[in-house]
Amino acid sequence: MKKQLTFIFFFTCILYFCQITVPYRTGNKYGISDESGKIIIPANYDIIDVLMYPGEFTATKQLSGNVFKTTYIVKNKPVLQDTDYNYFGMDSGFIIATRIKDLQQYYMSNGSPSYSSTDVYSLSGQKVFEQSFRYVNFIEDEKKPLTNEILVLANDQKAKNSLYLLNTKTLKVSKTFFEGADEVKTHYEKFPAVFSIDYYETDLSGKRLILNFENGKLAKQTTENIQSLDPYSSQSRSSSGSYDVMPTYDMEGIKQPPVKIADHVIAEMKDISNSKKYTQPYNIPVLSVNSKKLLTEYFALIKENGKIGYMDTRKKQWIIPAEYDEIMTSHSTCGNCDVFVVKKGGIYKILETGPDNKLTPFKGDYPMIPVLVKRNYGKDGFHLVELYDKDGNLFCYANQDGVMYYK
């Protein structure tokens, strides 16, 4: 009996953690469904963006123009609802929610935190700190020096730095090591056994805090004086310096003669990908199409009997046989494979090649241009695809078998 209960519990856990969920379009709205199309979250949103982890989404309602409300979904449950945050993420078991205060200035400054504010929440949606920060760093990686606690290095809205010890169970700050430091410099040479940080006050005087850890706890804390900060160091780091400028050349004088390409050889290929600014959650993703130059002495598109194929021209071997009306390349989600989108008639397919150029087609036939966005999403063998209409706008999501999540 005990073995049966253990098996049932184990099987239930497998089902829970392997549940696949995707944005499902109903009419002009999006919700969340499982792999079979069963609705889990009703279609009340104008767009839902797929984030890093399975079951993690940003769902957006566009009220008017750039006015919006975002909902952050974790493990297929809305955690932060109808917020004005531009984007979300998870870090060290916490939610990081960021609001852009001035989009134009944010872009002009290359994403400077001076024009954004960040809040920290638990995974259940409880706000951890009352104040907002410019940015937050959690002092841990796969090596965790502490159990049930975490070090938080925060930069506040006045660009001052503070180091906190946060209890991850109570979500209370159990210790403040320093506050209001102008500059900090971290040292990870002996991490996770030791973490040290240099911090400098407004008068540029410096101190080094050294923290020793044992058995998941803070074992020892020492502070020592260090050399004051050079008042010109920040300026020198941000200045352009005295680097020599690369000389320019008259390229006309060193151009190689053009290589004549046969009429049946095509030296360019369309490169397609999805495009959306993460800071503008209210926008629908669009299809980005660029032209990719081919080195025809290695690879080329070849026209044969009115159709197009893709050839390894060194080996004179077809990678993709000449039986398609169009062949495009797309960004790959694996490091050692290439992804192609081919069209025959009105149907698109996704093809994949590995290091040996072996061709593996996806099962699905698509009536619109597909872009592979997630490989092995939720479980091995499930691949998430975005479909784009003739105007280049996201129409809906689909899977590797051609199932469209739309009605």
Give the model confidence (pLDDT) of 256-314 as tens digits. 444 456 779 999 999 999 999 999 999 999 999 999 999 999 999 999 999 999 999 99
Instruction: Calculate the average pLDDT of the chain.
Output: 89
pTM: 0.85
- Write down the H helix ranges in 85-191: 103-108
Q: So what's the pLDDT on residue 18?
A: 56
**Residue 371 pLDDT exceeds 90:** yes
Domain, as residue range, for 349: 252-405
Please write the tens of the pLDDT for every residue from 66-97: 899 999 999 999 999 999 999 999 999 999 99
Say yes or no to pLDDT of 11 above 60.
Answer: no
Exposed, middle or buried by CB within 10 Å (0-12, 13-18, 19+), for 367? middle
Helices then strands, each counted (H, E), the chain: 3, 32
Q: What angle (nearest 5°) sits at the alpha carbon of residue 376, between those of residues 373 and 381? A: 120
Q: Is 60 exceeded by the pLDDT of residue 364?
A: yes
Q: Is residue 362 part of a domain?
A: yes
Which residue(s) pair with 118 in the sheet? 98, 133
Predicted confidence band of residue 232 (pLDDT cuts 50, 70, 90): low
Residue 105 structure tokens: 């200035």
Tokens representing residue 298 in the block: 């290695």
The answer on pLDDT for 242 being more than 50 is no
**Tally of domains within the chain:** 1
Tell me if 134 is assigned to some domain: no
> What integer pLDDT is reported at residue 332 of this predicted model?
78
Per DSSP, helices labelled H in 144-269 are 233-238
Local structure of residue 393 (DSSP, 8 states): B
Distance CA 388, CA 396 (A): 7
334 vs 197: which has the higher pLDDT = 197
Of 133, 55, 129, 60, which Cα lies nearest the Cα of 279?
60
Q: Is 27 left (phi over 0), alpha (psi -120 to 50) or beta?
A: left
User: Minimal CA–CA distance to 46: which of 71, 28, 64?
Assistant: 28
* Residue 168, in any domain of the structure: no
- CB 295, CB 314: distance < 8 Å: no
342 lies in some domain: yes
244, 228 in Cβ contact below 8 A? Answer: no
pLDDT of residue 118 exceeding 90, the answer is: yes
Alpha carbons within 13 angstroms on the beta-carbon side of residue 357 total 13
Residue 10 pLDDT > 50: no
What are the distances in angstroms from CA 218 to CA 91, 162, 170, 235? 21, 18, 17, 36
Q: Is residue 364 part of a domain?
A: yes
Which of these ranges, 47-56, 118-127, 171-180, 232-241, has the smallest mean pLDDT? 232-241
172-228 pLDDT per residue, tens: 999 999 999 999 999 999 999 999 999 998 888 899 999 999 999 999 999 999 998
pLDDT in tens, 23-67: 999 999 999 999 999 999 999 999 999 999 999 999 999 998 889
What is the per-residue pLDDT for 261? Answer: 64
CA quadruple 293, 298, 303, 308: dihedral positive or negative?
negative
Contacts of 362 (CB under 8 A, 6+ apart): 349, 350, 351, 352, 383, 400, 401
- Across 336-341, average pLDDT: 92
The whole-number average pLDDT for the span 353-373 is 93
Residue 17: φ, ψ to 5°: -75, -20
Q: What was the pLDDT predicted at 233?
A: 61
